[in-house]
């Protein structure tokens, strides 16, 4: 069933009796060509593109809980491609282009909203670094614009221009950046994949891999063994736990990142704004809540919750930048588990075990990468070769010395 | 969180800076045949357990000692705190 | 006429009338009122509009779980959108206005949405607005955004201040109802340090809303006596108006005290609110329970409110929404409410109870086995339709309807650390699950024990157990005799078969139909249900909504409620102003400001300052007549290179390293050799991270065999020190070496330029010879200046000139800069700031922050040979990796424009002259650039692939971001004095 305005009207006039489940609830088959572990954004997108772009059949996504319950359902919904390094920028620009056609592609309104992202600049050194970055973006075919303080003031008059500890000196804008209704991304991919025949199996936890002679032939799950020619893992913050079952250690730590939303407010912020002198970035959802976040709590965690010092740190950044939001009330805080890699960049690669593939290390940039991650992982699974925009995302880059370190923080995941 | 410093008693975790897995104490031998491989394992690869984790915290706003804290990454419960220097000495590190 | 709906009695002070305005109209209430109770007393039932359908709404609750009665409280910069009228304490001069309506509350244009509700069902927006694609941002979304949101921010800076504080106790008691008070008395008498916090401004909890006596006297007698006793004890801190917002790790709770929200403006010097971090050994949750509505058609009209809330209004606030009221209840609460109403002289239209076998407890008409099947009254309830047990329909005139669907224990705080509540069939509600590991106890209604007697007893018992865990013996206390009616309930989640929508989430307009649709479309897990329908996402976090929706989903799925799922809660318990979390860290106080020892002097010179991390440094020193910063900077540079300039370099990190193994230690943390550095000498040190990337650089001086002073860059002072402590304690714990950061202990000035020695000779005491022979380039020494003041002198140079850095204890920093300037008068000594410093280091090709960006290696910086391979040092091994040693690796080069009038831009990328400007052709980038007044044109340094081999090549430097493109020639980065003659002069 295709979704459209006409369909909504027709159903409204006939008692909404015609709506069908957005995806089926199939019983797992005994084996598949492809089993994707992880019913989050990346896993579902992988299945969708495997079926659609690579014409693969017999695909299952298995999810230990309910789909979209991991980081795709608990992020701050931002999309952008404002990366610096050659290993990253083409990939994220590919992703942004996929976002731009996504809703028509999978027939689901995920509210891709390109209202722009603005990274504020507070020092000359920052300006130099952002100039280099903006140029890298443009040279890679993305859009970027350097805004003056006056241009920023016109768009965001309520930023702290008067008594700031770290005055705003400009900003790097990407107008094609923006936000997306995050849950709808998972649902759109799930529905799209389901319509292409993918089995989405919820409440099915992987308890082990069946590996013999260096070959993976399937997964043990709480719903029995499921055979697979190829198994792809896309479980973000749970990567360490899952891959340990295949005997692997990863260049990844799991950290908690908190995010926040205020009560609904009439429109204040058109786009995304990031503070360059503190840990704070913010956008406003279509419902009116200010959605904001900041830094990691900083310690390894699988707990999906954080502590007060980080909440305070983020709100201090918010007040330093936007003293006008002081009386807006923080409504809800939550934590997601980030798969923080050793250089801040992801891995989409085969493992040393035949038939076992890995996608992870997204740090807190996974949401915006969802379409490209799915596409590139599907490409790898289908062809056994990395996609041309994801050639740098290899396991061995640390051993060989090809780190992709946007922030220049080295092998300390909580600083990326 | 509260870290029970072996010398200074319970302290708010905000006084500390986090580094990561306490295995970072076990720096390999630079003259080993496979030193690059060993250093790669040491610096980049992690157990990243969901459960008990021995990890390094630095008392930045305190006595500047490095601590090895045993903490559960699922519950954040702390079950042990040692001076990292003692741990390092015990594991045979010296000069 | 005012306060026509005011009753007798109540806990309001009629001697203190308070004037207030709502939507421009003036009213009067009394001290002790909330905005909601005062509006009710004034017969104002319509207070707000719902989020989606803009349905008219009045109060539903009497507490912080209110979904409907949200207003914009106060005016101007103090405006607070989405304030719950039910907890807004009334004060004289209060001004509030309704929100999310246009043009007025009673006539709201967007109420048209209600007519189209059938098209605007759960998640309809996911299925449409997709064509044409460009219309989303341009047309659909702007309309949706304007319609959405609730109240509006003033967009002015919040004029009030906020504080933060820390409290410690043995037992934190959350909630001062009967359970909390009895626990507090028990624990306080045992001598424990306790904090008793309650979100209300009046302690007592439900006792204030009910009429049950305690020991045959009004409950208020016992409350007052208890509070008086607690107040008299030094080990007790009573915190009314304080909401405990969250439970965090290791017994830390967040709490917000509304210090001044009950006043027109905060008193002088007082904050509006204080965020407390409470460190407690044990906690007791006595947060009571929240009543839940029943879903029946049109159950959302103004005048329909919860039965327990109505008890609060009539008993505590002596206000009623109507003179004739019906009650719809599936449990005993409604019957008690009816009795209370009767006692206040209010007519009961009927008590409607779906339980067929229920009996009357007083003199009111009872319709057993009946349900409310519809209601009427657009802006306020006029009548209800009742379906009797027989199936017959009956219409009842009434202006208010009290509803009780049972009570949900306030388990929120037990979920904040991901604890899961468990289902209790007896009360048809979730009760706290395992909480023991958190040191948290639960008592009273919060654990599902609803009678007053139970609450009193459980509070005492749990306090005794909690203190027992702390090895403190607490004794039982004498508790007042109280009602012990545990009540009974037969779940009634929704009334089926009626016409019209039945609301679950009142604020977000989620009805039973939406839940049905979610189920039909496969959004069956609780989290899917919430996200798809927006249930529970409103400002009340679903406190009144989630349970009913879950029950209906369970029914649709043919499962039990616990099989279907649980609803858990996240902090904060109620929404908290962002400013409260920020406290005093706002404006220029956002972060501390570090000042250098010469700051005051620099202010006197009219210096322009710049933020360097938390430091404030002089950027340049404008002179009269200079209109552009470049004039000042060029002058400072030229004067320094011509004669002598002085710059405060105190901000550089300084680490004092002592011990018999100090040299060994330094040799391990620097990539280049340090073991053989002679005493009295300084050496440039290159510090790598373990991954082989450059971490920092600086100079280290050997003052004695066992004493070194290391300097770091300003930016890395803290992280380098931490790194060194890590190396000392964790990697080489056997070394005899001690470290201490002395960054702030020494004021340090660079004195640079051909006349620097002459100047210094005027202040260095005569017994120290600083001639070129006695004190050559890279010499260091401990000296005295100005007749005996101890100082350190280093002959090091960042500018490339003959230069020194001189350090004195910080307290003499101000005196020293004045002395230096005075002594330098004859040489026209010129103070220079960070800009001139930057220009001179670019002229010399010295790497700084822009080059040491965390991705560059010694090779990139042209220092590969410095990384010693004959010793173990941090980073040496991994610096050998293939990827860091590519034949075409980036190398630092100098760049000079072919057209000398053109500007070199930092951040520009380098392209081969003939190649198109794109990422594939990228050859490198410019890291730093400036105008060189010595050369008379712009220069830059940057990283270029295989740069060492490309001197003389012409490249294009492109910066499409700033629309600049120039041709540059690759040159040595040592633009000035490449042979280094000046250094050695």
pLDDT tier, C491 (very low <50, low <70, confident <90, very high otherwise): very high
Say how many Å lie between the first and final Cα of chain A, rounded. Answer: 43
**Residue C613 scores a pLDDT above 70:** yes
Mean pLDDT of C289-305: 98
What domains lie within chain C, and their CATH numbers? 13-114 (3.10.20.440), 162-289+409-469 (3.50.50.60), 293-405 (3.50.50.60), 497-572 (1.10.10.1100), 588-637 (no CATH), 652-742+855-865 (3.30.70.1400), 886-971 (2.40.30.110)
Q: Phi/psi of residue A124, each to 5°?
A: -65, -40
Examine residue C132 and say whether the peptide bond preceding it is cis (omega within 30 degrees of 0): yes
Using a CB-CB cut-off of 8 Å, the residues of chain A touching B44 are: 251, 342, 398-399, 411
Question: Which one of B43, B75, B84 has the shortest CB-CB distance to C730?
Answer: B84
The answer on pLDDT for C807 being more than 70 is yes
Smallest Cα distance from C924 to chain A, Å: 10
Comparing CA positions, the residue from C937, C931, C929 lying closest to residue C959 is C929
C733 → closest Cβ in B60, B76, B94: B94
pTM over 0.80: yes
Query: How far apart are the C-alpha atoms of C929 and C937, rounded to whole Å?
Result: 11
With a cut of 70, say whether residue C619 has pLDDT above it.
yes
Q: CA-to-CA distance for A64 and C450, rounded, in angstroms?
A: 37
Numbered ranges of CATH 3.50.50.60 in chain A: 22-81+83-108+182-250+344-394+401-415
Do the Cβ atoms of B49 and A411 come within 8 Å? Answer: no
A155 touches C at CB < 8 Å: no
Which residues make Cβ contacts (< 8 Å) with residue C609, sequence separation at least 6? C602, C616, C617, C618, C619
The helix (H) or strand (E) run that includes residue C74 is none
The reply to whether residue B88 touches residue C249, judged by beta carbons under 8 angstroms, is no
Q: Span C606-610, mean pLDDT?
A: 98
Interface test with B, best of C728, C730, C881 (most B CBs within 10 A): C730
> What confidence score (pLDDT) does residue A145 get?
98
Residue C414 has pLDDT above 90, yes or no: yes
pLDDT the model gives residue C206:
96
* C-beta separation of C338 from C211 below 8 A: no
Check whether C820 has a pLDDT greater than 80. yes
Residues of A in contact with B76 (CB under 8 A): 301, 303
**Residue A20: pLDDT over 80:** yes
Neighbours of C, requiring at least 3 CB pairs below 8 Å, are: A, B
For range C264-291, the mean pLDDT? 97
- Whether residue A302 and residue B44 make contact (CB cut-off 8 A), yes or no, is no
pLDDT band for position C131 (50/70/90)?
confident
Q: What tens digit of pLDDT does each residue of C347-393 get?
A: 999 999 999 999 999 999 999 999 999 999 999 999 999 999 999 99
Q: How confident is the model at residue C133 (pLDDT cuts 50, 70, 90)?
A: confident
CA pair distance A218, A231, nearest whole angstrom: 7
Alpha helices in C324-451 (DSSP H): 332-343, 412-415
Interface test mutation site (partner B, options C168, C250, C688, C742, max chain B beta carbons within 10 A):
C250
ipTM above 0.90, yes or no: yes
Quote the minimal CA–CA distance from C979 to chain A in Å. Answer: 29
**10 Å Cβ neighbour count for C825?**
9
Average the pLDDT over C103-129 and give the result. 93
Q: pLDDT tens, C912-967? A: 999 999 999 999 999 999 999 999 999 999 999 999 999 999 999 999 999 999 99
Q: What is the percentage of chain A residues whose pLDDT exceeds 90?
A: 100
CA distance C730 to chain B (A): 5
pLDDT at B30: 97
Residues of A in contact with C254 (CB under 8 A): 308, 311
pLDDT at A1: 83
CB pairs under 8 A between A and C: 364
pLDDT at residue C497 in the model:
85
- Within chain A, all domains assigned CATH 3.30.9.10 are found at 117-179+254-341
Q: What integer pLDDT is reported at residue C436 of this predicted model?
A: 59
- Is the confidence at residue C438, as pLDDT, over 80? no
Structural domains of chain B, with CATH: 2-27+35-90 (3.30.2270.10)
What is the average pLDDT across C631-647? 98
C441-444 — which CB contacts under 8 Å span 24+ positions?
A: C441/C282, C441/C283, C441/C284, C441/C285, C441/C465, C441/C466, C442/C284, C442/C285, C442/C286, C442/C411, C442/C414, C443/C179, C443/C180, C443/C183, C443/C284, C443/C285, C443/C286, C444/C175, C444/C177, C444/C178, C444/C179, C444/C180, C444/C286, C444/C288
Q: What is the pLDDT of residue C127?
A: 95
Token pair of C156 as six digits: 């002015």
Q: Inform me whether the pLDDT recorded for C117 exceeds 80.
A: yes
Cβ pair B55:A302 closer than 8 A:
no
Chain A contact set for B74 (CB, 8 A): 302-303
* Residue of C248, C729, C878 lying closest to B88 (CB–CB): C729
**What is A117-179+254-341's CATH number?**
3.30.9.10
Pick the CATH number of A22-81+83-108+182-250+344-394+401-415 from 1.10.150.120, 3.50.50.60, 3.40.1160.10, 3.10.20.30: 3.50.50.60
Q: Give the per-residue pLDDT at C498.
A: 81
> Is B54 at the interface with chain C, CB within 8 A?
no
Q: Can you give the length of chain B in residues?
A: 95
Interface A-B: count of C-beta contacts within 8 A: 72
pLDDT in tens, A273-319: 999 999 999 999 999 999 999 999 999 999 999 999 999 999 999 99
- Mean pLDDT, residues A141-152 taken together: 98
pLDDT at C193: 98
pLDDT the model gives residue C841 = 97
Asked if B58 is an interface residue toward chain C (Cβ–Cβ < 8 A), one would say: yes
Contacting residues for C717 by C-beta, under 8 A, at least 6 apart: C651, C652, C653, C654, C741, C743
What would the pLDDT profile of C224-271 be if each residue is shown by its tens digit? 999 999 999 999 999 999 999 999 999 999 999 999 999 999 999 999
What is the spatial distance between Cα C330 and Cα C350, in angstroms, rounded to a whole number?
14
Predicted local confidence at residue C230, as pLDDT: 98
Chain segment A110-144, per-residue pLDDT in tens: 999 999 999 999 999 999 999 999 999 999 999 99
Structure confidence by residue, pLDDT tens digits, C546-604: 999 999 999 999 999 999 988 778 999 999 999 999 999 999 999 999 999 999 999 99
Q: Closest residue of C to A310, CA-based? A: C581
pLDDT category at A38 given cuts 50, 70, 90 is: very high
* Neighbouring chains to B with at least 3 Cβ pairs closer than 8 Å: A, C
**A303 interface with C at CB cutoff 8 Å:** yes
Q: Do the Cβ atoms of C128 and A5 come within 8 Å? A: yes
Question: Using CB atoms and an 8 Å cut-off, which of residues 213-232 of chain A contact chain C?
Answer: none
CA dihedral for C653, C656, C662, C663, sign (positive or negative): positive
**pLDDT tens track for C311-345:** 999 999 999 999 999 999 999 999 999 999 999 99
Task: Note the pLDDT of residue C437.
Answer: 62
The three-state secondary structure class of C468 is: helix
Q: Do B46 and A252 touch (CB under 8 A)?
A: yes
Residues of C in contact with A411 (CB under 8 A): 689-691
User: Is pLDDT of C2 > 90?
Assistant: no
Residue of A nearest to B56 (CA): A299
Contact B1 C878 (CB under 8 A): no
Q: What's the rounded Cα separation, in Å, for the pair C823 and C817?
A: 10
Quick one: pLDDT at residue C487?
83
DSSP for A317-374 reads: HHHHH-GGGTTSEEEEEEEEEEEEESSS--EEEE-SSBTEEEEE--GGGHHHHHHHHH
């Amino acid at each position: 069933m295709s979704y459209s305005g006409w369909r909504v009207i027709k159903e409204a006039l006939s008692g909404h009796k015609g709506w069908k489940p957005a995806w089926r609830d199939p019983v797992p088959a005994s084996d598949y060509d492809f089993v994707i572990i992880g019913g989050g954004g990346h896993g579902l997108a992988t299945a969708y593109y495997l079926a659609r772009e690579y014409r693969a059949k017999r695909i299952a996504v298995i999810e230990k809980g309910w789909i979209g319950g991991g980081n795709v359902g608990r992020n701050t919904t931002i999309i952008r491609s404002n990366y610096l390094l050659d290993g990253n920028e083409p990939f994220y620009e590919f992703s942004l282009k996929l976002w731009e056609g996504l809703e028509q592609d999978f027939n689901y309104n995920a509210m891709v909203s390109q209202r722009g992202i603005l990274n504020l600049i507070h020092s000359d050194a920052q300006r130099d670094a952002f100039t280099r970055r903006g140029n890298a973006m443009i040279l890679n075919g993305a859009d970027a614009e350097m805004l003056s303080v006056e241009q920023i003031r016109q768009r965001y008059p309520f930023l702290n221009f008067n008594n700031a500890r770290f005055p705003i000196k400009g900003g790097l804008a990407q107008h094609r950046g923006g936000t997306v209704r995050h849950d709808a991304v998972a649902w759109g991919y799930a529905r799209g994949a389901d319509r292409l025949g993918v089995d989405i199996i919820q409440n099915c936890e992987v308890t082990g891999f069946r590996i013999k002679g260096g070959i993976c032939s399937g997964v043990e799950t709480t719903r029995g063994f499921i055979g697979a020619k190829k198994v792809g893992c896309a479980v973000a913050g749970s990567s360490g736990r899952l891959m340990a079952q295949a005997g692997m250690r990863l260049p990844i730590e799991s950290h908690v990142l908190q995010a926040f939303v205020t009560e609904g407010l009439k429109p204040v912020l058109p786009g995304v704004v990031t503070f360059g002198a503190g840990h704070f970035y913010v956008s406003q959802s279509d419902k009116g809540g200010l959605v904001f976040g900041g830094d990691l709590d900083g310690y390894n965690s699988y707990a999906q919750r954080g502590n007060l010092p980080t909440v305070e740190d983020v709100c201090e950044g918010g007040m330093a930048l936007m003293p006008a939001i002081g009386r807006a009330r923080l409504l809800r805080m939550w934590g997601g588990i980030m798969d923080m890699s050793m250089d801040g960049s992801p891995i989409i690669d085969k493992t040393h075990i035949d038939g076992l593939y890995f996608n992870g290390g997204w740090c807190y940039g996974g949401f915006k990468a969802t379409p490209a991650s799915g596409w590139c992982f599907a490409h790898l699974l289908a062809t056994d070769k990395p996609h041309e925009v994801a050639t740098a995302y290899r396991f061995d880059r640390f051993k060989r010395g090809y780190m992709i370190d946007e922030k220049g923080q080295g092998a300390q995941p909580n600083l990326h | 969180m509260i870290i029970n410093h072996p010398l200074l008693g319970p302290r708010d975790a905000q006084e500390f800076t986090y580094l990561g897995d306490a295995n970072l104490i076990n720096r390999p031998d630079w003259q080993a045949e496979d030193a690059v491989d060993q250093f790669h394992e040491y610096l980049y690869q992690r157990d990243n357990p969901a459960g008990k984790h021995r990890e390094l915290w630095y008392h930045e706003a305190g006595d500047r000692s490095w601590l090895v804290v045993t903490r559960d990454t699922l519950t954040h419960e702390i079950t042990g705190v040692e001076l990292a220097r003692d741990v390092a000495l015990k594991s045979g590190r010296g000069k | 006429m005012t306060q026509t709906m005011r009753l007798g009695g109540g806990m309001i002070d009629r001697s203190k009338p308070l004037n207030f305005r709502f939507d421009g109209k003036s009213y009067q209430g009394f001290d002790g009122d909330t905005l909601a109770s005062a509006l009710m007393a004034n017969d104002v039932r319509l207070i707000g509009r719902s989020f989606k359908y803009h349905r008219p709404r009045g109060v539903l609750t009497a507490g912080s779980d209110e979904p409907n009665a949200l207003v914009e409280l106060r005016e101007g910069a103090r405006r607070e959108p989405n304030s719950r009228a039910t907890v807004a304490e009334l004060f004289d001069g209060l001004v509030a206005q309704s929100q999310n309506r246009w043009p007025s509350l009673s006539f709201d244009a967007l109420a048209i949405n209600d007519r189209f509700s059938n098209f605007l069902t759960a998640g309809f927006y996911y299925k449409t607005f997709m064509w044409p694609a460009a219309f989303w941002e341009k047309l659909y979304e702007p309309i949706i955004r304007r319609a959405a949101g609730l109240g509006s921010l003033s967009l002015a800076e919040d004029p009030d201040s906020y504080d933060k504080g820390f409290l410690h106790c043995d037992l934190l008691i959350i909630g001062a109802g009967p359970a909390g008070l009895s626990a507090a008395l028990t624990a306080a008498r045992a001598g424990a340090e306790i904090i008793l916090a309650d979100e209300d401004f009046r302690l007592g909890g439900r006792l204030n809303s009910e009429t049950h006596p305690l020991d045959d006297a009004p409950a208020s007698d016992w409350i007052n006596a208890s509070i008086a006793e607690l107040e008299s004890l030094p080990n007790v801190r009573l915190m009314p108006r304080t909401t405990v917002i969250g439970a965090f790790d290791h017994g830390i709770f967040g709490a917000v005290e509304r210090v001044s929200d009950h006043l027109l403006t905060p008193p002088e010097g007082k904050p509006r609110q204080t965020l407390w971090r409470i460190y407690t050994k044990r906690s007791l949750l006595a947060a009571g329970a929240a009543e839940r509505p029943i879903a029946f058609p049109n159950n959302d009209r103004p005048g329909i409110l919860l039965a327990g809330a109505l008890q609060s209004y009539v008993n505590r606030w002596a206000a009623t929404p109507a003179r004739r009221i019906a009650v719809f209840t599936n449990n005993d609460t409604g019957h008690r409410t009816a009795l209370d109403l009767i006692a206040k002289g209010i007519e009961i239209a009927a008590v409607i109870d779906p339980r067929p076998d229920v009996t009357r407890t007083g003199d009111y008409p009872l319709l057993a086995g009946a349900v409310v099947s519809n209601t009427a009254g657009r802006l306020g309830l006029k009548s209800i339709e009742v379906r009797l047990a027989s199936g017959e329909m009956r219409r009842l005139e009434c202006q208010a309807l009290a509803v009780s669907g049972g009570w949900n224990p306030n388990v929120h705080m037990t979920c904040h650390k991901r604890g899961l509540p468990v289902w209790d069939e007896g009360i048809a509600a979730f009760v706290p699950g395992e909480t023991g590991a958190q040191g948290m106890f639960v008592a009273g209604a919060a654990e599902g024990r609803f009678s007053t007697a139970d609450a009193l007893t459980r509070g005492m018992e749990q306090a005794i157990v909690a203190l027992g865990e702390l090895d403190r013996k607490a004794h039982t206390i004498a508790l007042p005799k109280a009602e012990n009616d545990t009540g009974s309930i037969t779940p009634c989640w929704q009334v089926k078969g009626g016409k019209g929508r039945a609301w679950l989430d009142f604020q977000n307009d989620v009805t039973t139909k939406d839940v049905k649709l979610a189920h039909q479309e496969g959004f069956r897990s609780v989290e899917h249900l919430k996200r798809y329908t927006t249930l529970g996402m409103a400002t009340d976090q679903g406190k009144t909504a989630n349970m009913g929706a879950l029950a209906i989903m369970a029914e649709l799925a043919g499962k039990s409620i616990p099989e279907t799922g649980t609803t858990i809660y996240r902090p904060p318990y109620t929404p908290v102003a962002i400013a409260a979390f920020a406290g005093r860290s706002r404006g220029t106080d956002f972060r501390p400001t570090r000042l250098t020892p010469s700051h005051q002097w620099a202010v006197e010179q009219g210096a322009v300052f710049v933020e360097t991390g938390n430091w404030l440094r002089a950027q340049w020193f404008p002179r009269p007549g200079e209109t552009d910063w470049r004039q000042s900077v060029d002058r400072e540079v030229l004067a320094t290179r011509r004669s002598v300039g002085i710059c405060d370099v105190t901000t550089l990190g300084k680490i004092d390293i002592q011990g018999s193994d100090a040299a060994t230690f330094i040799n391990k943390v620097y990539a280049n050799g340090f073991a053989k550095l002679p005493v009295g000498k300084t050496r440039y040190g290159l510090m790598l991270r373990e991954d082989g990337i450059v971490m920092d650089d600086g100079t280290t001086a050997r003052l004695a065999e066992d004493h070194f002073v290391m300097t770091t860059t300003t930016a890395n002072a803290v992280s380098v020190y931490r790194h060194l402590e890590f190396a000392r304690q964790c990697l080489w714990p056997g070394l005899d070496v001690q470290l201490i950061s002395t960054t702030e202990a020494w004021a340090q000035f660079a004195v640079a330029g051909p006349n620097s020695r002459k100047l210094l000779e005027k202040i260095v005491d005569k017994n120290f010879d600083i001639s070129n022979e006695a004190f050559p380039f890279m010499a260091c020494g401990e000296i005295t200046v100005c007749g005996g003041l101890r100082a350190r002198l280093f002959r090091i140079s960042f500018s490339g000139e003959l230069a020194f850095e001189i350090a004195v204890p910080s307290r003499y920093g101000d005196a020293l800069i004045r002395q230096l300037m005075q002594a330098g008068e004859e040489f026209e000594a010129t103070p220079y700031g960070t800009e001139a410093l930057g220009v001179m280091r670019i002229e010399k090709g010295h790497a700084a922050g822009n080059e040491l960006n965390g991705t560059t290696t010694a090779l990139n910086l042209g220092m590969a040979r410095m990384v010693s391979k004959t010793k173990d040092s941090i980073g040496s091994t991994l610096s050998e990796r293939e990827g860091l040693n590519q034949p075409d690796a980036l190398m630092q080069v100098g760049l000079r424009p072919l057209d000398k009038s053109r500007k070199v831009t930092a951040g520009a990328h380098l392209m081969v002259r003939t190649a198109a400007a794109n990422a594939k052709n990228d050859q490198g980038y410019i890291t730093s650039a400036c105008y060189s007044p010595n050369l008379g044109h712009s220069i830059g340094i940057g990283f270029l692939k295989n740069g060492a081999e490309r001197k003389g090549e012409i490249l294009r430097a492109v910066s499409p971001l700033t629309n600049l493109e120039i041709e540059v020639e690759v040159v040595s980065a040592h633009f000035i004095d490449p042979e280094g003659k000046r250094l050695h002069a």
